[in-house]
Amino acid sequence: MKLTLKIWRQGGKYKGEFVTYQLDNVNEHMSFLEMLDVLNEQLIHQKEEPIAFEHDCREGICGTCSLVINGRPHGPLKGTTTCQLHMRMFKDGETIVIEPFRAKAFPVIRDLVVDRSAFDRIIQAGGYISVNTGQAPEANSIPIEKEVASRAFDAAACIGCGACVAACPNASAMLFTAAKVSHLALLPQGQVERKRRVLRMVAQMDKEGFGRCSNVKACEAECPKEISVSNIARMNREYLFAAVASETIA
């Protein structure tokens, strides 16, 4: 395959612009990141600056491979991270536009790398759960209904990649925050700090400068783990109940 790549370059000699590269002999069985590795080898051989992009596990688990490919976070394949996207999804001679996630709360560090530490601070704001220390309890000692456990697991599948933010026209982090709130709110282990957790996480989300949800649902459509927007509705209910309770106590 021969490809034309239009890639966002920012940092060093690049002030923030798309740069066009030609890449020949692309194997259709390569992953998207392996294709970028090949391009970087070519650039290094030509004494040019390689393209900075994030990666870690390359198994669709860590969420660091965050790219917007032809206008879609993680590319054209639904329910797939960038590292699990393969070049057979593209056509010979195609032009591919690659850029970083665009959001005020995700400032560009260099080229395709953005600072997503805002997500870390939202999780930190949620704090810990209260558990008794000592010997681990028997797994079946806390009965949890199958339906509840399944909903909690689906929410916990969020890998924090930020595709929801990149897809949202308002750069909202509601789906990410809702997934983190939901999976603990549904389980008995998360009940002690339940009200405090949602108030703090939503407050931190707003502090980070993310936008508000306007029910476009692009977040759900582009999420590589297909997290449901029903979690946003659950978080809104959790927040309302917690806010009313805090006012009543005050």
The range of the structural domain enclosing residue 35 comes to: 3-109
Residue 250 has pLDDT above 80, yes or no: no
Q: What is the 3-state secondary structure (H, E, C) of 36-96?
A: HHHHHHHHHHCCCCCCCCCCCCCCCCCCCCCCEECCEECCCCCCCCHHHCEHHHCCCCCEE
Distance CA 222, CA 162 (A): 10
Contacts of 146 by beta carbon, 8 Å cutoff, 6+ apart = none
Question: Do 210 and 90 lie in a common domain?
Answer: no
Residue 249 has pLDDT above 70, yes or no: no
Question: Do 61 and 122 lie in a common domain?
Answer: no
Distance CA 163, CA 73 (A): 5
Question: Do 179 and 201 lie in a common domain?
Answer: yes
Residue 178 has pLDDT above 90, yes or no: yes
> Among 28-32, 37-41, 72-76, 132-136, which is the least confidently predicted range?
132-136
- Angle between helical axes of 174-185 and 194-207 (0-180°, round to 10): 170
- Answer whether 36's CB lies under 8 Å from 87's CB: no
In the chain, the number of structural domains is: 2
CATH no. for residue 201?
1.10.1060.10
Q: Rounded mean pLDDT of the chain?
A: 94
Question: Do 148 and 104 lie in a common domain?
Answer: no
- Answer whether 68's CB lies under 8 Å from 113's CB: no
Question: Do 96 and 157 lie in a common domain?
Answer: no
Question: Do 159 and 105 lie in a common domain?
Answer: no
Question: Do 125 and 243 lie in a common domain?
Answer: yes
CATH no. for residue 70?
3.10.20.30
Residue 136 has pLDDT above 80, yes or no: no
Tell me the per-residue pLDDT of 44-88, one tens digit each, with 9 for 90 and over.
Answer: 999 999 999 999 999 999 999 999 999 999 999 999 999 999 999
Residue 22 has pLDDT above 90, yes or no: yes
* Predicted local distance difference test score (pLDDT) of residue 130: 84
| 101: alpha, beta or left? (left if phi > 0; alpha if psi -120 to 50) | beta
Distance CA 66, CA 16 (A): 18
* Predicted local distance difference test score (pLDDT) of residue 134: 75
Residue/partner pairs of 127-130 with CB below 8 Å, 24 or more apart:
127/193, 127/196, 127/197, 127/200, 128/193, 129/184, 129/189, 129/190, 129/192, 129/193, 130/192, 130/193
Please report where in the chains the tokens 């194997």 appear, as a residue: 27
Residue 132 has pLDDT above 80, yes or no: no
pTM: 0.93
Give the closest residue to 182 by CA, choosing from 225, 221, 216, 228. 228
